């Protein structure tokens, strides 16, 4: 609770939380509040600019852009959140286990992580679509699996060495069960790091979902998503060069808020970000750099 208060004191976090609350509201109720049917084609008003009837104009088959943005928020956000949940559910327990159980399985789990890290999101998602079928579920499971090594590394880095810390030993001497120490002492240390990573990963997943929609993977066309809208605008750049601005702005606001929130959580809790290998001196200057962003 104190963390949330500390977070709220940081102006950039407040801005980010408000924006994200707005996006969450759109994701939940956007479809119901949309002024038009997002799939209805007003064939007389194709490729219109913003007007009274269509506040953000219409697309290439005359669908209302504002309604599509509001409805599309749901699928875009749900997809990204699902992928991050899968990544966290796979990565966090395995990271805890690897730090807790010691070096027995460590080499193998690290190599599995290395392998998943080298597979590019888009190429892997195409392969999954080609073998297991094209759908939002398959795409998100694929992205979640590729996100899991990030969670694994962050969790493992934060939990590593905590087993030998005196207060953990003291708790065990006083008869605390392993489960209790894990929950009470380890998890509270690991959680902020996982939160920072989750915020970053959600932003990254939103971008990946958009890229997949651009490739025609994941969500199938008539259903609106931010990425799908952006990519359909691509074909009509000559007629409407400004059309991509609306979905792009919404996406920038969401991903930017998630990044700001991640930085703010880091500042408020002293958590460290995903460990960049071989950059021992990075943490303190990196945090300074992020404060620069906040002030700018």
Partner 1 sequence: MTLVASAPVSLLAGRRAGAAARRTLPALRSLAGVAAVTVTVLFLASVVTFGLGALSDSNPAAAALGETATPADIARLDHEFGLDRPLAEQYVRWVGNALTGDLGRSWFTTIPVADSIRQALPVDLSIAALALVLALLVGGGAGIGAALSNGGVFDRAVTLVCSLLATLPPFVIGMALIVVFAVKLQLLPAGGYVPIQADPLEWLRFAILPALALSLDVAASIARQLRTSLVGELRENYAVGAEMRGFGRRRVLFGHVLRNAAGPTLAVIGLAIPLIIGGAVITEKLFGLPGVAQLSLQAAERGDVPVVLGTLLVTAVVVVVASLVVNLLQVLLNPVARRGGGARGAAR
Site pattern 58..87 for partner 1 (x: CB under 8 A): ------------------------------
Q: Are 35 and 67 in contact (CB under 8 A)?
A: yes
Least Cβ distance, residue 52 to partner 1 (angstroms) = 27
**By CB under 8 A, is residue 272 in contact with partner 1?**
no
**By CB under 8 A, is residue 138 in contact with partner 1?**
no
**By CB under 8 A, is residue 41 in contact with partner 1?**
no
**By CB under 8 A, is residue 89 in contact with partner 1?**
no
The DSSP output letter for 51 is -
| CB closer to partner 1 out of 30 and 149 | 149
**By CB under 8 A, is residue 279 in contact with partner 1?**
yes
**C-alpha to C-alpha distances, 134 to 73, 217, 220, nearest whole angstrom:** 20, 6, 9
Size of the site for partner 1 (CB under 8 A): 63
Burial class (CB in 10 A: 0-12, 13-18, 19+), 163: middle
**By CB under 8 A, is residue 50 in contact with partner 1?**
no
**By CB under 8 A, is residue 160 in contact with partner 1?**
yes
Kindly tell me which residue out of 107, 166, 173, 175 binds partner 1, with binding defined by CB under 8 A.
107
**By CB under 8 A, is residue 231 in contact with partner 1?**
yes
User: Which residues have CB under 8 Å from 203's CB, separation 6+?
Assistant: 254, 255, 258, 259, 262
Q: Are 98 and 111 in contact (CB under 8 A)?
A: no
**By CB under 8 A, is residue 119 in contact with partner 1?**
yes
Distance in angstroms (rounded) separating the CA atoms of residues 284 and 65: 44
Distance in angstroms (rounded) separating the CA atoms of residues 2 and 229: 40
Burial class (CB in 10 A: 0-12, 13-18, 19+), 252: exposed
Kindly tell me which residue out of 6, 14, 195, 211 binds partner 1, with binding defined by CB under 8 A.
211
| Cross-strand bridge partners of residue 64 | 58
**By CB under 8 A, is residue 15 in contact with partner 1?**
no
CB atoms within 10 A of CB 230: 20
Length of the chain: 296
CB atoms within 10 A of CB 145: 18
Q: Which region, judged by CB under 8 A, interacts with partner 1, from 26-34, 50-58, 174-182, 272-280?
A: 272-280
Three-state helix/strand/coil letters over 105-157: CHHHHHHHHHHHHHCCHHHHHHHHHHHHCCCHHHHHHHHHHHHHHHHHHHHHH
**By CB under 8 A, is residue 248 in contact with partner 1?**
yes
Q: Which region, judged by CB under 8 A, interacts with partner 1, from 41-49, 85-93, 130-138, 189-197?
A: 130-138
**By CB under 8 A, is residue 199 in contact with partner 1?**
no
| Pair of tokens at residue 148 | 């899991």
| CB closer to partner 1 out of 46 and 274 | 274
Least Cβ distance, residue 5 to partner 1 (angstroms) = 26
| Pair of tokens at residue 186 | 């380890």
**By CB under 8 A, is residue 128 in contact with partner 1?**
yes
Residues that bind partner 1 (CB under 8 A): 107, 110-112, 114-124, 126-132, 134, 157, 160, 203, 207-208, 210-211, 214-217, 227, 230-231, 233-234, 237-238, 241, 244, 248, 251-252, 255-256, 259, 276-282, 284-286, 289, 292-293, 296
């Amino acid at each position: 609770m104190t963390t949330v208060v500390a977070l709220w004191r940081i102006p950039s976090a407040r801005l980010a939380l408000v924006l994200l609350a707005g996006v969450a509201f759109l994701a939940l109720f956007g479809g119901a509040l949309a002024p038009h049917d997002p799939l209805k084609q007003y064939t007389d008003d194709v490729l219109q600019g913003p007007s009274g009837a269509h506040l953000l104009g219409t697309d290439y088959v005359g669908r209302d852009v504002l309604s599509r943005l509001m409805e599309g928020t749901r699928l875009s956000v749900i997809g990204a959140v699902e992928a991050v949940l899968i990544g966290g559910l796979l990565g966090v327990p395995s990271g805890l286990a690897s730090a807790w159980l010691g070096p027995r399985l460590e080499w193998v789990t690290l190599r599995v992580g290395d392998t998943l890290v080298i597979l590019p999101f888009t190429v892997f998602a195409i392969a999954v679509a080609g073998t297991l079928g094209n759908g939002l579920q398959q795409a998100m499971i694929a992205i979640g699996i590729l996100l899991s090594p990030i969670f694994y590394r962050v969790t493992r880095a934060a939990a590593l060495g905590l087993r030998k810390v005196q207060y953990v030993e003291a708790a065990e001497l006083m008869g605390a069960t392993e489960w209790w120490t894990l929950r009470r002492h380890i998890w509270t240390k690991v959680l902020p790091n996982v939160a920072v990573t989750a915020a970053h990963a959600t932003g990254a997943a939103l971008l990946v979902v958009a890229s997949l929609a651009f490739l025609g993977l994941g969500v199938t066309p008539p259903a609106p998503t931010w990425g799908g809208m952006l990519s359909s605008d691509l074909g009509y750049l000559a007629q409407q060069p400004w059309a991509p601005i609306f979905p792009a702005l919404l996406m920038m606001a969401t991903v930017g808020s998630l990044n700001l929130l991640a930085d703010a959580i880091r500042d408020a809790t002293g958590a460290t970000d995903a460990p960049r290998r071989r950059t021992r001196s990075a943490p303190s200057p990196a945090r300074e750099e992020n404060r620069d962003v906040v002030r700018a």
